[in-house]
A and B are shown apart, each in its own frame.
Chain A
Amino acid sequence: MTLSPDDDFAAAEFALGTLEPGERATLAARRRREPALDAAIRAWEARLSPLAEATPPIAPPQDFLPAIETRIRAAAARPASDGVAALHKRLARWRAAAIGATGIAAALAIGVVAREATRPAAPHEFVAVLQRSADSPAFVASINLDTRELTVRPLAAPPQPDRSYELWIIDPKLGPPRSLGVIDAATVTRGARLAGYDRAVVEDATYAVTVEPKGGSPDGKPSGPPVFIGKLLPVEP
């Protein structure tokens, strides 16, 4: 498999470290699904890695070994969750993460999972967990690709007094991020907000949440970097 020159350059910049946060998060998500991209990133890391070896050492301020050994023991007690994660595995992981979240979030998440689990085969149903890290899901966005209906359920999004969360769809084919509107941190937000978007774009895009002035971005552009981000996963019947 060959990579486009643009993707190879993106892989090079990923390895060099010069991508901006949103770009890096997007590429990190893509490499899990695109083996050619993953291989290109590894190749660039290997090309540049002799430089790392030439770094002048700095003595750490303390001995971290005991703390590292403690972490390794703690990790050994958990089921393995690494490697090139299959989509199914990632779905299982967000469910587990969601269930592990705070009380009210857990209750909501169980509701979501139970509903999804009892629904008949629905291959056109996708979800994206919008989160900062794997253990802090903030919103779950579900998208019905047939109706283009978008449903966003809050899980553990911190309330933003006097500010609004706004959802964006980001995809190279669209150019700059496009707003999917303000989403509520306390209640479910619904609407056919993806009407008019191409199916392939909807499936591949990155979904990002920013914090905006109350009522949403005044100029239709995100006013800061995303606080939560996610990609779509198919919902298993």
Chain B
Amino acid sequence: MSTAEETPEATDSAAASDDLALLLGRVAARDAAAFATLYRSTHALLYGVVARILTRGDASGEAVQEAYVRIWEKAGEFDPAKGSPLAWMATIARNRALDEVRRVRPASLEAMPEGFEPAAEAVDPLAARARSERLAALLACLGALDADKREAVLLAYYRGFSRDALARRFGAPTATIKTWLRRSLMQLRDCLES
């Protein structure tokens, strides 16, 4: 495998979707140099995804490492017809973070979130430049939700809020949050399919 020294400088923002898809193809063929380039092109985005959900630096590092091992193993399953390479990789990282934050554990060991809270910048994808048609369509559909319900979906997606956490945030019973989520998600699906 190539090492960090052999790879070019990080190209966080430069790598285009097509290049990433090609890299994933090479990774599927067990090309270690391509994997290193893929890592350098995407690690800040994937770290951004997990760090907002896990808040603890050590857990975030662990989740990112597991995500890249999975990306190495699953690269051959990437299907460009179903989404962009970045969305595919970020979803893998997000699932690792969610598995960790929702890990079944004894109540007595329930760790309080400690220390590092990632920059509390408002995640506002509605203001973000739509990088793809899929994102543009999803944002348009999110924009059609009531403000509170949209915020609930985005807090769940970006910060890993559970129903209980959303209930505390909005001062509403958990059952109400569940109803919100159900209506919002079904409305999103109908909107995306229309």
Q: Which of A's residues lie within 8 Å of B, judged by CB?
A: 9, 12-13, 16-22, 24-25, 28, 44-69, 71-73, 75, 82, 132, 208, 210-211, 223-229
- Please give the number of chain B residues whose Cβ is less than 8 angstroms from any Cβ of chain A in the complex: 77
B102 touches A65 (CB 8 A): no
Given contacts A21-B105, A73-B1, contact A68 B181 (CB under 8 A): no
Contact of B157 among A19, A51, A82, A210 (CB under 8 A): A51
Interface of chain B: mostly helix, strand, loop or mixed: helix
Contacting A at CB under 8 A, from B117-158, are 118-119, 121, 123, 125, 128, 131-132, 134-135, 137-138, 153-154, 156-158
Proximity string of chain B (29-67) to chain A, C-beta cutoff 8 Å, 1 when within and 0 when not: 000100110011001110111011100010011001100
Contact of A132 among B40, B104, B125, B156 (CB under 8 A): B104
List of A residues within 8 angstroms of B49 by Cβ? 52, 55
Residue of B nearest to A60 (CB): B47
Contact of A56 among B102, B123, B157, B188 (CB under 8 A): B123
Instruction: Output the least CB separation between B140 and chain A (Å).
Output: 11
A16 touches B185 (CB 8 A): yes
Instruction: Output the least CB separation between B26 and chain A (Å).
Output: 15
List of B residues within 8 angstroms of A63 by Cβ? 4
List of A residues within 8 angstroms of B36 by Cβ? 65
In the complex, what distance in Å separates the CA atom of A227 from the CA atom of B72? 31
Contact of A48 among B43, B51, B53, B157 (CB under 8 A): B157
